């Protein structure tokens, strides 16, 4: 394929990038910056698809491009999550450091320990109320059973779901709580 054909293919399929992003994030609230980043990553996927496409294999270009675009966006999201976790760990490490010019104090002394913050029954109830507001199906039961020491597969049997569903609901709840500033 020559340069003109590749440019035409890119122009004809740029709408596919937008379509994938709209389909994937349509009803979710994403920032303008995130949307632009997803579009950029989608275009990278489109370019890779154009460069790797082999018409002799019998696939339509859009089928091949869809997988490349979606894969590129997925890799970007995964990298962002890993980067976020790394930053969170670095922030936690910085909290453990000494406060400048106060050798007897640590930043940690000024902050509540988020792991122990929800140890009282009243605080646990508050956390469960916040979880209920996320409107994630059965999340209050899932978290309560998890706190009681049940494993995901045991909880799944109790509520009639599969283990993967339990994991996804817990991940979604963790993300929603993090958005609210709760890190327990």
3-state helix, strand, coil in the chain (%, to 5): 70, 5, 25
pLDDT in tens, 42-61: 999 999 999 998 889 888 99
pLDDT in tens, 118-166: 445 556 677 777 777 778 888 888 888 887 888 889 999 999 999 899 8
Please tell me what DSSP assigns to residue 58. Answer: -
In a domain, 164, yes or no: yes
- Same domain for 76 and 119: no
Confidence of residue 108 (pLDDT cuts 50, 70, 90): very low
* 146, 148, 151, 153 alpha-carbon torsion, rounded to 10°: -80
State percent of the chain over pLDDT 70: 74
Q: Any idea what the CATH number is for the domain that residue 40 is in?
A: 1.20.120.1810
- Same domain for 121 and 72: no
In a domain, 184, yes or no: no
In a domain, 104, yes or no: no
Lowest mean pLDDT among 20-24, 61-65, 99-103, 140-144: 99-103
- Same domain for 71 and 31: yes
What is the residue-averaged pLDDT of the chain?
78
pLDDT at 107 > cutoff 80: no
Q: Higher pLDDT residue, 92 or 117?
A: 92
Sequence-distant (6+) residues with CB within 8 A of 100 are none
Confidence of residue 181 (pLDDT cuts 50, 70, 90): low
Q: How many domains does the chain have?
A: 2
At 45 the pLDDT is 92
Confidence of residue 174 (pLDDT cuts 50, 70, 90): confident
Which structural domain range is residue 25 located in? 3-83
Confidence of residue 112 (pLDDT cuts 50, 70, 90): very low
- Same domain for 74 and 137: no
Closest CA to 166 of 184, 182, 181, 144: 144
Full-model pTM: 0.47
Bridge partners of 106, per DSSP, are 98
In a domain, 69, yes or no: yes
């Amino acid at each position: 394929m020559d340069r003109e054909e590749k440019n035409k293919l890119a122009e004809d399929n740029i709408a596919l990038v937008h379509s994938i992003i709209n389909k994937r994030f349509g009803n979710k609230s994403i920032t303008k910056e995130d949307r632009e980043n997803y579009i950029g990553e989608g275009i990278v996927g489109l370019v890779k698809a154009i460069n790797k496409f082999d018409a002799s294999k019998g696939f339509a270009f859009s089928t091949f491009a869809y997988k490349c675009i979606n894969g590129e966006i997925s890799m970007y999201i995964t990298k962002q999550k890993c980067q976020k976790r790394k930053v969170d760990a670095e922030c936690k490490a910085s909290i453990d450091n000494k406060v400048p010019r106060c050798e007897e104090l640590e930043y940690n002394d000024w902050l509540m320990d988020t792991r122990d913050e929800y140890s009282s029954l009243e605080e646990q109830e508050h956390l469960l109320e916040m979880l209920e507001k996320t409107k994630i199906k059965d999340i209050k039961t899932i978290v309560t059973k998890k706190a009681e020491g049940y494993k995901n597969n045991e909880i799944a049997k109790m509520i009639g779901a599969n283990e993967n569903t339990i994991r996804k609901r817990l991940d979604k709840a963790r993300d929603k709580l993090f958005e609210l500033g709760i890190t327990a």
